[in-house]
Every structure is written in C-alpha cells, then in structure tokens.
C-alpha cells in the first residue's frame, strides 16, 4: 500500500514533515495544512511552508480550501505560478469556523463550485489534482451529487473520511457509506479515519482488498512509527517506538530552537503540540507534565519522564 499523511493544522508543518521523513524513512505522500485565500492573497507563511527548502527531500502536496469560484481560481493560479505540480482540494474540513463560511465540507453541497472544479481540472492537464472530502455537511448522502461531477474529471484520487462534518471526529464511522462511495467512484479512493494501529489497516484491507492507499492523520501524530509498522507487517515494541519518537522530537526541538527568535514561549508553543495526541503512547503522567510545563526547564524535565 501507499501511505498518505493527512495534514493537521498546527502540527504537520514543513519541519514536522521533513524530520518525520528523515527518522522514519517511509514512502509517504505528505500534504500541507490547508492554504486559504485572504483579502491580500495567500499568507506568506503558508507559501513558505508549501515551497520551503525543508520540503525538498520528500516533496509535498499543497492543499487548498475555498468557499467560492473566485477563491478556488486564485488559489490554483497562485500555486501553479509558484511551481506546484500537485494540488489537493479540501472539501472535508469539519470545523465550524470554516464550514460556516462555505469552505471545507460545506463545499460538498455547492453545485456551481463543483462545476468550477471540473472546469479548472480540465483546463490544467499538467497538474495532478486530488480531493479530500467527507460524506457531507449534515447528511450522509450529500456526497452523491458531488461524485457525479467528480466522476467526469481525472483525479489522482479522492480521499474519503466516512463521517459527516457535524460529527467532526466523534461517533461511528459509516463504513457502508464508504463502500457505496467506492463502488460508484470512477477515480481511485483512499480511506481516511480512525486508524491508530496496524490492525486497523488490516481490517480495512480485509473489507476493501481493492484499496491501494490509506491516509492517516492523528494516528501518526500519536504514534509516528505507524506507517513503518504497517509497511513491515508487524507491531514495534514500545521501546522501539519511544526511542524513535524521542529521536524525532530531539531533531524537531533543535530545529525550532535554532530558527525561532521569539524565545522560550515561542519554542514551547511550537513543540508542545508534538505530544497532543500521544497520551496513550507516552503515558498520562508524562503527557500531563508536558502539557503543564511553563518554561523549557520544566518541559525538558517532563520529557525526561517518558519511560522506554
């Protein structure tokens, strides 16, 4: 299988992607956290994240989020001018801050926007487009009208998280809706959602042997070795997992310490999210100590409590 690291705002920046690739050395497709259009254009830091030098070892797919045809065209044209060869279209973000503005999963129901996507994809055959989406915003069958249009255009794949946006990341995965989507899609489909162990991927493969790819986000943030374990077909020992995770953390912390100029507070704000989804992996006591750390001395002491 081929593996895709789902973009997570505030976590999977270019430094995270770079050092994850360096430590774990697995064939992974990396994506930027979504890039959006603002009044003056794309934020400089978003462009730097997508096209910065730390992306060079493994490459990266820029992901965009949009609410209307104008934002979509502006974003695509900006990325193409910057040299992008791949663009991922975010039609799955469930967060109300975005859906209330018509972006993310709210775009699934926007028929005119879907037609504009088809026009743009067909007018740029030199660019590989993909889509990341959910079943819908409020209802689990809202994807059907969108898929009719997506079936008319060549996409590298569609990544589907089989929940509606209102569920965010809670409630049951709708595996039967995912099955119907796979049956009806003329483009390749990637599964995304609630994968936290090698066994979870085996279960998906048993149910959908035709799937060639999976995308994982929070599962890898909590267990960065997960892609390796899936690829090798065996679960690493906790000692192996923690050793590699701490190596990954050391490289990332050193990078932030050497490049951020805002002092301890800025470094802490960048490095502490590294552990946000790792409570089960490192233990609640260490996780809580890291979360409570207010300076680098306390933070380093908290990290030192993580037991192999």
We report the CATH number of the domain holding residue 112 as: 3.20.20.70
Residues of the chain below pLDDT 70 = 56-58, 308
Do residue 178 and residue 264 come from a single domain? no
Cβ contact 94:167 at 8 Å:
yes
Cite the DSSP H helix spans in 124-263.
143-150, 175-184, 198-207, 218-222, 226-232, 238-259
At 75, is the secondary structure helix, strand, or coil? helix
Cβ contact 272:290 at 8 Å:
yes
Residue ending a domain, among 179, 209, 232, is: 232
Do residue 222 and residue 246 come from a single domain? no
Do residue 30 and residue 153 come from a single domain? yes
- What's the pLDDT at 151? 98
- What's the pLDDT at 39? 86
Q: Which helix (H) or strand (E) holds 38?
A: strand 37-38
- What's the pLDDT at 198? 94
Do residue 207 and residue 124 come from a single domain? yes
Range of the domain at 297: 238-303
- What's the pLDDT at 182? 97
- What's the pLDDT at 26? 81
User: Quick one: which of 7, 27, 58, 22 has its CA closest to 218?
Assistant: 7
Domain total in the chain:
2
Q: Which helix (H) or strand (E) holds 3?
A: strand 2-5
Domain assignment of residue 308, yes or no:
no
Domain assignment of residue 272, yes or no:
yes
- What's the pLDDT at 134? 97
CA distance 224 to 204: 20
- What's the pLDDT at 275? 98
pTM of the model: 0.94
Do residue 248 and residue 158 come from a single domain? no
* Phi (first) and psi of residue 129, to 5 degrees: -100, 145
């Amino acid at each position: 299988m081929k593996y895709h690291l789902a973009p997570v705002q505030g976590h999977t920046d270019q430094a995270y992607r770079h050092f994850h690739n360096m430590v774990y050395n697995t064939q992974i497709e990396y994506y930027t956290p979504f890039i959006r259009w603002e009044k003056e254009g794309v934020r400089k830091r978003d462009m730097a994240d997508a096209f910065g030098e730390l992306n060079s070892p493994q490459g990266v797919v820029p992901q965009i989020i949009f609410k209307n045809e104008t934002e979509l065209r502006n974003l695509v044209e900006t990325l193409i001018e910057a040299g992008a060869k791949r663009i991922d279209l975010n039609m799955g973000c469930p967060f109300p801050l975005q859906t209330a503005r018509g972006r993310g999963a709210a775009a699934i129901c926007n028929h005119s926007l879907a037609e504009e996507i088809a026009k743009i994809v067909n007018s740029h055959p030199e660019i590989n487009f993909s889509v990341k989406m959910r079943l819908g915003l409020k209802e689990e069958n809202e994807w059907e009208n969108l898929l009719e249009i997506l079936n008319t255009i060549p996409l590298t794949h569609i990544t589907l998280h089989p929940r509606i946006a209102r569920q965010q990341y809670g409630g049951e995965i709708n595996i039967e809706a995912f099955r119907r989507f796979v049956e009806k899609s003329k483009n390749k489909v990637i599964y995304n959602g609630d994968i936290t162990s090698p066994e979870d991927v085996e279960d998906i493969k048993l149910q959908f042997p035709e799937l060639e790819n999976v995308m994982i986000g929070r599962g890898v943030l909590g267990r960065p070795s997960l892609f390796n374990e899936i690829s090798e077909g065996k679960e690493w020992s906790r000692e192996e997992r923690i050793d590699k995770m701490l190596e990954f953390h050391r490289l990332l912390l050193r990078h932030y310490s050497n490049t951020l100029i805002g002092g301890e507070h800025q470094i802490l704000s960048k490095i502490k999210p590294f552990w946000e989804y790792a409570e089960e992996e490192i233990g609640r006591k260490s996780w809580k100590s890291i979360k409570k750390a207010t300076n680098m001395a306390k933070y380093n002491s908290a990290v030192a409590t993580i037991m192999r």
